[in-house]
């Protein structure tokens, strides 16, 4: 996967939402006295973290649906190999940075 710069319009929207939610419970970050005069920078690592959590959650949901929601969700959540295999099987994911990374082939990981 070759990274490309994010689409600024969409990333700006993401940044605004991050700043908005950071002021709410449970984060409760206090707004700076300079808040109206400059925009707080949101690192691309925030988008990477968001993407990681979303991939994990989508894989876990898929695994749970495949068991007709009868499996112990906590046990599935701890099944790293199963999560990883499910992510690989999902093939594509559109990230907040607007990458469309193709998830690696199973053979590359010996799965």
- Digit-coded pLDDT (tens) for 31-73: 666 666 666 778 888 888 888 899 999 999 999 999 998 989 9
Q: How many CB atoms lie within 10 A of CB 43?
A: 10
Give the span between the Cα atoms of 32 and 88, in whole angstroms.
42
What is the pTM (predicted TM-score) of this model?
0.69
* Lookup result for tokens 């559109």: 94
Q: Which residues contact residue 77 at a Cβ distance below 8 angstroms, ignoring those fewer than 6 apart?
A: 60, 83
**pLDDT of res. 85:** 93
């Amino acid at each position: 996967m070759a990274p490309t710069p994010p689409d600024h319009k969409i990333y700006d929207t993401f940044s605004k939402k991050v700043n908005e939610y950071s002021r709410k419970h449970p984060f409760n970050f206090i707004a700076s006295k300079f808040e109206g005069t400059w925009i707080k920078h949101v690192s691309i690592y925030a988008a990477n973290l968001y993407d990681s959590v979303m991939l994990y959650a989508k894989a876990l949901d898929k695994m749970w649906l495949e068991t007709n929601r009868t499996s112990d969700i906590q046990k599935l959540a701890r099944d790293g190999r199963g999560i990883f295999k499910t992510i690989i099987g999902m093939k594509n994911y559109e990230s907040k940075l607007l990458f469309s990374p193709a998830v690696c082939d199973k053979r590359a990981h010996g799965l």
